[in-house]
Chain A
Amino acid sequence: MTQVHPAPAPPTPRREHTQVSRKSWSKRFFGRPEVGSLMGAVAIFVMFYAIADPFRTPGAQSTVLYASSTIGIVTVGVCLLMIGGEFDLSAGVGVTTSALAASMFAFQLSLNVWVGVVFALLVSLGIGLFNGFVLTRTKLPSFLVTLATFLMLQGLNLAMTKLVTGNVATNSISDMDGFDSAKAIFASSVQIGSVSVKITVFWWLLFVAVATWVLLRTKVGNWIFAVGGKADSARAVGVPVNRTKIGLFMTVGFTAWFAGMHKLFAFNTVQSGEGVGQELIFIAAAVVGGCLLTGGYGSAIGAAIGAFIFGMTGQGIVFANWNPDWYMFFVGITLLVATLLNLWVRNRAARR
């Protein structure tokens, strides 16, 4: 218009009509889900590096990575599930259930431990299938379904162990057939230079890589984001929503199985009461890593960084000679701060 209006303020259209197709590098970077957790991880790393001398040795770093991997392996499954819009409270005790199942099955029937390992895998996948099936059939929220599973498994772990072994822990399986080969897979160490690194670290990194690949480069990955983002819409365009969700619960089962096997072959025996509370650590790690509780958003790498933060905090406290009783307190603070950081980063990225 050529008319001269008395200096109208520049119009600010309420809705953007078009989108700029080329984004700047920084905008892309800050748009990633894992940015907040990465910043947090760096900050915590620098803090411990500065205040705790022993933290600086390669050996200590290996320990940190090991602690992170034991959290991180299950977090991979939990994170995928969370992107798919659900979460699993039974993952923590599920780890113990798996270890107990393998140990007792093989020991009581005097079988090769590998038979127990396979049996435990079936049990863990079965728990996932059960969770997923009940959820998709009844449409109950996952909080309720998996809380029920969690309580049932907690009771089952203790009752079955007492029934079978007469004790609250399983018998040691270290002298049984196949133990050495299983330990090599699940609980050995690899020497890199002068540092010994636990094999779980490599498994963890592999799982994260696979999960990332699946999320970003496969149909199933698209489906996971879609069912978590808006399940009804996904169903309307032909995404198999129920199968995707059941598959995700079974994936959590798989990662819980793996963590359970590590536990079993690292310590030879399993305490039946373990694992309670761990499920929240997994969920917290995934959230710290940028997964939204509401689903549809997140990354496996972020969840790995989340697990690393918790692993590092747990070990860092020891290296810094603080009282380890404070561990959970720090976990809580980290969760809160990281979540706020994620929110802030996301809002900034959206605004720019």
Chain B
Amino acid sequence: MRGIVKLFPGVRALDGVDLEVRAGEVHCLLGQNGAGKSTLIKTLAGAHQPDAGEIIWQGERVSLSSPVAALKRGIATMYQELDLIPTLSVAENIFLGHERARYGFTRPAAARAEASALLERLGHAEISPDTEVGKLSAAGQQLVSMARALAHDAQLIVADEPTAALASDEVDNLFRIIEELTAEGVAVVYISHRMEEIRRIGHRVTVIKDGRTVAANLDARETPGNELVDLMAGRKVQAAFREGGEGSAEFGDEMLVVEGLTRAGEFRDVSFTVRAGEIVGLAGLVGAGRSEVLETIFGARRPDAGTVVVGGKKLRPGSVSSAVRAGVGLAPEERKSQALLLDMSVAHNATLASLPGYSTLGFSQRARELRDATATLERLDLRPADPRRPAGTLSGGNQQKVVLARWLVRGCRVLLLDEPTRGVDVGARAELYRLIHELAASGVAIVLVSSEIPEVLGLADRVLVLREGDVLANRPAGELSEADVLDMVMEGSAA
């Protein structure tokens, strides 16, 4: 039996974590954002040095002083933010750092051949080793990352949320590969927020919280989901979604009216209405046109046809400032790249959209800005509750809260949420759901896009199902079951 035991008390990020992985198993590592998972896997990858504790690898005590040292021992890591160089080719990426070279000269032909063999083993022989990695899809890049781990002859592969960017058929393929690898005796440490994935491929589960292991050696298939969630959260989490009552009577006036919105090649003839206090969900696969619809409503894309009316006033097509002035806010899918200024403080990020309101004769009123931001963030229960912290240091769920706070400070009437819970752990998810409901209850009209069908059905009052740019259904959420939506969504992709 090969195994790793890691103990390190010391720094607060990791306060004595134990992790023991056996050869040939898929070991799931669970924990909320900020629990120390990333630090742990970075230590395993050799990027961080433990201040105390020890790493035992295949029976002997080792020190992983650098990423290279870890790789040499057969520990390969697939980071969440893929560690590939977009401008290099597939083959160059796979062998970067351990080039196939003789006398210092690379042998591109050999590297290409080996890369092809690896990709074929992964079931994707159609990816050319000469392709620039930046031109591959997220799934393709994931495969390259996987091929790189294989090229190192890895005995242990650490996969940090490998499915976050994948469509469902690609997830199946990934799981097939993982199963093949474990059958060969490779150990996999698997990090994911999706419980059903852990059930599908996991063998054992370790749960960490606040830098400590709170539970280990749990059976991935048998352990009840709520038990895991409770362990992660360290408290009981209430049911995430509002219970039953879809009394559509209480909604206010029509706040957002979208009429015949069309963009060639992206979506066609999208029409729907959102009333004040109502949540409308857009369901569909990645690439079905959901995000594009949101961005078009927001004015970031120019529609080929159709109109957007907010509060009775028609928006100028393709004008973000017109949309923002009318009270529309967008929380985009890519929080980090599209929404937040990561180096600026939380308070600044929160007031960014309302700066004109905070300036007198061109000078910004810092004190008032900070006060309003603090009040809003308190309402959102931001943790840590320090508005002066740089936004980049927060966990995913709290970053999302900052984005929401931005539109709350501005007092917007229509809120467009694109995958608000992506990369957010279960505990924080429940809080976000509560917030979204609160917002709706205060009279905001909300449009929600999510890849997770239960989330759309649970949160929204009315659901639109999109497939390849067509609206297939527009019905109250109560009339649709998960199976119905899945059916509609998948039909196109099966063809």
Contact = CB atoms under 8 A, between A and B. Distances in A.
B96 A239 contact: yes
A238 B92 contact: no
B137 A225 contact: no
B470 A8 contact: yes
B96 A237 contact: yes
A219 B140 contact: no
Interface in A189-219: 217-219
A11 interface: yes
A137 interface: no
Contacts of A20: 128
B104 interface: yes
A259 B255 CA distance: 69
Given A1-B494, A236-B45, A238-B67, A217 B106 contact: yes
Given A19-B128, A219-B104, A238-B68, A225 B138 contact: no
B135 A229 contact: no
Interface string A211-249: 000000111111101101110111111110000000000
Nearest to A15: B137
B363 interface: no
Residue of B85, B98, B148 with most partner-chain A CB within 10 A: B85
Contact of A296 (B67, B87, B97, B286): B87
A16 interface: yes
A211 to B, nearest CB: 15
A17 interface: yes
A13 interface: yes
A229 B105 contact: no
A11 B127 contact: no
A16 B139 CA distance: 10
A12 interface: yes
A9 interface: yes
A186 B88 CA distance: 37
A282 interface: no
Nearest to B81: A233
Interface string B60-94: 00000011100100000101001111111000100
B179 interface: no
A233 B86 CA distance: 10
A139 interface: no
B239 interface: no
A238 B315 CA distance: 52
Interface in A2-42: 8-9, 11-23
B105 to A, nearest CB: 6
A1 B491 contact: yes
B268 A236 contact: no
A9 B265 contact: yes
Given A234-B96, A235-B67, A18 B127 contact: yes
25 contacts: A11-B469, A15-B139, A16-B135, A17-B139, A19-B126, A19-B128, A19-B131, A19-B135, A21-B127, A218-B105, A219-B101, A222-B96, A222-B106, A223-B96, A225-B88, A225-B92, A226-B85, A229-B88, A232-B83, A234-B96, A236-B47, A236-B67, A237-B83, A237-B96, A296-B85
A156 to B, nearest CB: 35
A189 to B, nearest CB: 34
B99 interface: yes
A48 interface: no
Contacts of B79: 236
Given A8-B468, A21-B128, A235-B67, A221 B137 contact: no
Given A217-B105, A350-B135, A11 B468 contact: yes
A338 B66 CA distance: 42
Contacts of A16: 135-137
A308 interface: no
B495 A1 contact: yes
A229 B86 contact: yes
Interface residues of A, number: 39
Contacts of B312: none
B287 interface: yes
A297 interface: yes
Contacts of B140: 17-19
A19 B96 CA distance: 21
B234 interface: no
Can you list the 9 inter-chain pairs with the closest CB atoms, starting with the nearest? A238-B97, A21-B128, A238-B68, A229-B85, A15-B137, A237-B97, A233-B83, A296-B87, A14-B287
Interface residues of B, number: 51
A100 B108 CA distance: 43
A186 B86 CA distance: 40
A232 B96 CA distance: 13
B127 A238 contact: no
Given A16-B136, A229-B85, A237-B148, 19 more contacts: A8-B468, A9-B469, A15-B138, A16-B137, A18-B127, A20-B128, A23-B130, A218-B104, A219-B99, A219-B104, A226-B96, A228-B87, A233-B84, A236-B83, A237-B98, A238-B67, A296-B86, A297-B87, A350-B135
Nearest to B126: A18
A21 B495 contact: no
B287 A15 contact: yes
Contacts of B71: 237-238
B88 A222 contact: yes
Contacts of A350: 135
Nearest to A292: B87
A226 B101 CA distance: 16
B492 interface: yes
B96 A11 contact: no
A217 B82 CA distance: 25
Interface in B234-289: 265-266, 268, 286-287
Interface in B356-412: none
B370 to A, nearest CB: 29
Interface in A286-316: 296-297
Contacts of B491: 1
A237 B145 CA distance: 11
A9 B266 CA distance: 10
Nearest to B133: A229
B101 A233 contact: no
Residue of B79, B135, B268, B468 with most partner-chain A CB within 10 A: B468
Contact of A11 (B82, B92, B130, B492): B492
A226 B85 CA distance: 6
A226 B87 CA distance: 8
Nearest to B98: A238
Contacts of A296: 85-88
Contacts of A236: 45, 47, 67, 77, 79, 83
B286 to A, nearest CB: 8
Interface string B120-131: 000010111011
Contact of A225 (B87, B108, B492): B87
Nearest to B100: A219
Nearest to A2: B495
A243 B264 CA distance: 50
Contacts of A22: 128
